[in-house]
Amino acid sequence: MTTHTPNACPFCDARNTVHVPLLEMKHWRLYRHADPTPIAGWMMLAAREHRSGLEALQDLESAEIGLVLRALAKATQEVTGADRIYSITYNEAVQHFHLHIIPRFATDDRTKSWALADFYRSVASGTTPAIDSNEATRIAEKIAAQLRALLPNL
């Protein structure tokens, strides 16, 4: 089993250039999915402090995450036009609590339920083209701005 200490954790390593937060809240940081990105608007929400999973969250982090998730889902839906918004958390490869927030489009069966995992692997392997990096950043920055507007005090 791989374990991560805070110094080896990509979310805790200040020198990490792959995971750069687009928005910082009291207890949470918002990122876009690193390249290759399957879907524009695929976001990640991570605890500011190193927490191994849901069970390790502190009271204030737990209290805030519901408000942040609802607002992030609204912002992602408004910016991307997605029909639904998925959220997934494993914390396996990177054992620092983070959620994937994923736009689901009714017109694209690759984004539906567990088919999403196949789509993800296809993009990760290079079989299916990823979203252009600049476009992924542009959409993610719009979502971050919308989230900040929805939650100006967090």
25 or 131: whose CB is closer to Zn ion? 25
75 or 94: whose CB is closer to Zn ion? 94
The footprint of Zn ion on this chain (CB under 5 A) covers a number of residues equal to 5
Picking from 133, 113, 146, 107, the residue whose alpha carbon sits closest to that of residue 38 is 133
- The 28-32 sheet, strands edge to edge: 23-24, 28-32, 43-47, 98-104, 84-88
How far is Cα of residue 89 from the mean position of the Cα atoms in its chain? 9
Among 11, 86, 97, 119, binds Zn ion (CB under 5 A): 11
How far is Cα of residue 17 from the mean position of the Cα atoms in its chain? 16
Among 96, 101, 103, 120, binds Zn ion (CB under 5 A): 96
Query: What is the rounded distance in angstroms from the CA atom of residue 41 to the CA atom of residue 50?
Result: 24
Tell me the closest approach of the beta carbon of residue 11 to Zn ion, in angstroms. 4
Any contact of residue 56 with Zn ion (CB under 5 A)? no
Query: 56: buried, middle or exposed (CB in 10 Å: 19+, 13-18, 0-12)?
Result: middle
Any contact of residue 48 with Zn ion (CB under 5 A)? no
Query: What is the rounded distance in angstroms from the CA atom of residue 4 to the CA atom of residue 117?
Result: 24
Any contact of residue 12 with Zn ion (CB under 5 A)? yes
Tell me the closest approach of the beta carbon of residue 52 to Zn ion, in angstroms. 9
Tell me the closest approach of the beta carbon of residue 4 to Zn ion, in angstroms. 6
Only one of the segments 68-76, 78-86, 89-97, 120-128 lies at the binding site for Zn ion (rule: CB under 5 A); that segment is 89-97
Q: Please give the residue ranges that form the binding site for Zn ion (CB under 5 A).
A: 9, 11-12, 50, 96
